[in-house]
């Protein structure tokens, strides 16, 4: 995830044209997973810092150490930072890189899901528990068994089953698990072990969670995204294939799987009749934002739908110093989401 040139961007003009402004400005935040618990919005973001790591295609410069929970009474209200909810030093198995998290509520308890690299440099996913949606969260001593890669998103279905969607390629290491065993060869290469361009794309994963939400109840399955001819998207289809940042929401009985295309910077989505898919590619939700990464969540509040997302406008384009934002989303009469241009007619 190298820094791309931002010389051409006039940030005063960009901020004027932006459809929304940073929700908080006193810390850098990214990867906002938003939920409505007890009528209030809680956002579970990454907490970006400048740890002085060199930029590379593995995302080593995303060296985050802790998490803060942000709360809002409504999407237009002031956002409140509730302080440190979990720190890497409190997680026995986690060494570094606290990347995009999520949370779920069950029976009055709050479960915080987060990826981090273990002491062997392998991304796993952990869970931590609290009686409060804002934490502090007490981590389980070990990562979730058979968890791998990054970007957990936990979806509660109407039948009270909970599913975790996860995975990310390049620095997210999903391609290293293709045989079921972690492939540690060529550790510096984000591209080694990827499928060829004319092969089916690597898929995000889904696993139903156990009743206590602490483990996978089944082996993770592939989230296959198919094109207009019902053929799986190919790895070379870089404007549509999955890269990272899974999210699931349900609209009018259909399952909407949304995700980032990474190096082409779109948030796209695909639709299915059940939580496992296959999902049919349906289009773009968000055009590219300032900064290399794009990551989002979608949530309903008082009958309206909102996209929480991030860009790097607050840091004037520093890719690993991002800020969370929110905007409304709209569906057409066929349930398709209207594509959002984050800076109106200005392209980045």
Active-site residue set: 31, 244
Residue 15: its H or E element: helix 11-17
Q: Between residue 85 and residue 114, which ones bind ligand FUB under the rule CB under 6 A?
A: 99-100
- The binder of ligand FUB chosen from 30, 128, 148, 268 (CB under 6 A): 30
Instruction: Identify the CA nearest to 158 among candidates 223, 282, 302, 255.
Output: 255
Is residue 315 involved in binding ligand FUB (CB under 6 A)?
no
Q: Between residue 41 and residue 60, which ones bind ligand FUB under the rule CB under 6 A?
A: 46
- The binder of ligand FUB chosen from 143, 150, 224, 286 (CB under 6 A): 150
By beta-carbon proximity to ligand FUB, the closer residue of 100 and 223 is: 100
**For residue 227, with 0-12 CB atoms within 10 Å meaning exposed, 13-18 middle and 19 or more buried, which class applies?**
middle
Closest CB 302 distance from ligand FUB, rounded Å:
28
- The binder of ligand FUB chosen from 151, 222, 237, 311 (CB under 6 A): 151
Site string for ligand FUB, 210-249 (x = CB under 6 A): ----------------------------------xx----
Q: Between residue 153 and residue 172, which ones bind ligand FUB under the rule CB under 6 A?
A: 168
Closest CB 211 distance from ligand FUB, rounded Å:
27
DSSP class of residue 317 equals: S
> Distance between CA atoms of 101 and 148, rounded to whole angstroms?
14
Handedness of CA 175, 179, 180, 183 (dihedral sign): negative
Contact criterion met (CB below 8 Å) for 17 and 343: yes
> Cβ atoms within 10 A of the Cβ of 152, count?
28
By beta-carbon proximity to ligand FUB, the closer residue of 150 and 290 is: 150
Closest CB 94 distance from ligand FUB, rounded Å:
14
Closest CB 157 distance from ligand FUB, rounded Å:
23
Give, in degrees to the nearest 5, the angle at Cα 87 between 183 and 157. Answer: 70
By beta-carbon proximity to ligand FUB, the closer residue of 235 and 246 is: 246
> Distance between CA atoms of 105 and 155, rounded to whole angstroms?
10
- The binder of ligand FUB chosen from 29, 134, 293, 323 (CB under 6 A): 293
Closest CB 227 distance from ligand FUB, rounded Å:
24
By beta-carbon proximity to ligand FUB, the closer residue of 54 and 345 is: 54
Is residue 295 involved in binding ligand FUB (CB under 6 A)?
yes
Closest CB 161 distance from ligand FUB, rounded Å:
25
Measure Cα distances from 261 to 7, 99, 157, 240 in Å.
24, 17, 25, 6
Which backbone phi and psi does 285 adopt, to 5 degrees?
-95, -45
Contact criterion met (CB below 8 Å) for 39 and 67: no
Residue 118: its H or E element: strand 109-118
- The binder of ligand FUB chosen from 14, 31, 144, 233 (CB under 6 A): 31
- The binder of ligand FUB chosen from 28, 42, 44, 62 (CB under 6 A): 62
Residue with tokens 């915080």: 112
Four-point Cα dihedral 280, 282, 287, 291, nearest 10: -10
323-329 β-sheet, strand order: 296-301, 304-311, 323-329
**Residues within the interface to ligand FUB (CB under 6 A):** 30-31, 46, 62, 99-100, 150-151, 168, 244-245, 293, 295
């Amino acid at each position: 995830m190298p820094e791309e040139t931002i010389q051409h961007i006039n940030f005063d003009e960009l901020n004027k044209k932006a459809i929304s402004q940073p929700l908080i400005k006193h810390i850098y935040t990214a990867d906002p997973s938003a939920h409505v618990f007890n009528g209030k919005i809680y956002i579970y973001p990454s907490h970006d810092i400048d740890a002085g790591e060199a930029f590379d295609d593995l995302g080593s410069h995303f060296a985050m150490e802790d998490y803060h929970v942000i709360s809002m009474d409504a999407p237009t209200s002031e956002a409140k930072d509730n302080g440190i909810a979990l720190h890497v030093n409190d997680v026995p198995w986690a060494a570094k890189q606290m990347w995009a998290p999520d949370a779920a509520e069950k029976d009055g308890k709050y479960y915080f899901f987060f990826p981090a690299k273990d002491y062997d440099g392998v991304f796993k996913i952990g869970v931590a528990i609290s009686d409060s949606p804002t934490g502090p969260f007490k981590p389980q001593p070990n990562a979730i068994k058979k968890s791998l890669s990054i970007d957990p998103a936990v979806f509660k279905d109407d039948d009270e089953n909970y599913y975790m969607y996860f995975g990310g390629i390049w620095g997210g290491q999903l391609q290293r698990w293709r045989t079921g065993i972690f492939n540690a060869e060529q550790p510096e290469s984000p591209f080694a072990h990827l499928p060829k361009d004319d092969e089916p794309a690597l898929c995000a994963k889904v696993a139903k969670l156990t009743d206590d939400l602490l483990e996978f109840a089944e082996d993770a399955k592939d989230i296959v995204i198919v094109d207009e001819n019902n053929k799986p998207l190919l790895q070379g289809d870089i404007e549509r294939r999955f890269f990272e940042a899974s999210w699931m929401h349900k609209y009018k009985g259909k399952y909407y799987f949304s995700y980032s295309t990474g190096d082409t910077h779109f948030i796209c989505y695909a639709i299915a009749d059940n939580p496992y898919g296959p999902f049919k590619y349906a289009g773009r939700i968000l055009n590219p934002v300032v900064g290399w990464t794009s990551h989002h969540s979608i949530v309903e509040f008082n009958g309206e739908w909102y996209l929480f997302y991030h860009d790097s406008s607050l840091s004037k384009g520093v890719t690993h110093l991002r800020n969370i934002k929110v905007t409304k989303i709209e569906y057409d009469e066929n349930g398709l989401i209207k594509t959002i241009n984050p800076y109106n007619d200005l392209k980045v």
